Amino acid sequence: MNDTAELKENYRRAYGNRIGFGTRPALIMIDFVQAYFDPECELYAGVEDALSSALRIREVARANKVPVIYTNVTYQHDGLDGGRFFQKAKPLRNFVSGNPMGNWPDGLEVGAEELVISKQYPSAFFGTSLASTLTTWGIDTLIHTGLSTSGCVRATCVDCSSYGFIPIIAREGVGDRHSAPHEANLFDMDAKYGDVESEGTIVDYLSKIGASK
């Protein structure tokens, strides 16, 4: 048995459970900002395919009246509100207010009635109103797309589970700058915190949600 097969078998014995989809979903698009798409930026990650997948999922979500939420990262001058995260991760200087690297990339336009949550830390839940908002809306399932898989997506997924919502991670709709942390974190999220599902499975689910309304 090779190392990959042995790892999967080891985890399957302990963590093979599936949560499944709930009945009231929302879609979150985590930190799809220009920095990750500009080859001149140190944060460039070559994640255009993840954005394309997320936009296809968003199209179906919108068509079926499923709420869409966006996050970005923004800091005051010199990262005054960034704490240890800003101190540790130097590329976060690209997200100081006014830097164009924090803008939405071409092809991503936020709808007038769609929610944008600005954050200073990896998780979309930490220090924000996201949990209260989802509760108020009656949401039980949060579909994750965004960047990066090993950073803000994972952090959001863990907090999503901790707050009692079902984390669904769109495999093709999340991305990272390297395949190793990307795959490792998809594996770990799927094992312990939520369900990693394909774009096609998520689209089918959203379509059925719309049909049942």
Percentages of the chain per state (helix, strand, coil), in multiples of 5: 45, 20, 35
How many Cα atoms occupy the beta-carbon half-sphere of 137 within 13 Å?
A: 22
C-alpha span between 24 and 212 (Å, rounded):
11
CA distance 32 to 147: 6
Burial of 159 (0-12, 13-18, 19+ CB in 10 A): buried
Give the whole-angstrom CA distance, residue 189 versus residue 168.
9
Examine the residue annotation and report whether 160 is marked as an active-site residue of this protein: no
Cβ contact 106:116 at 8 Å: no
CA-CA-CA-CA dihedral for 45, 46, 47, 52, to nearest 10: 150
Which of 41, 152, 157, 160 is labelled catalytic? 152
Active site amino acids: 152
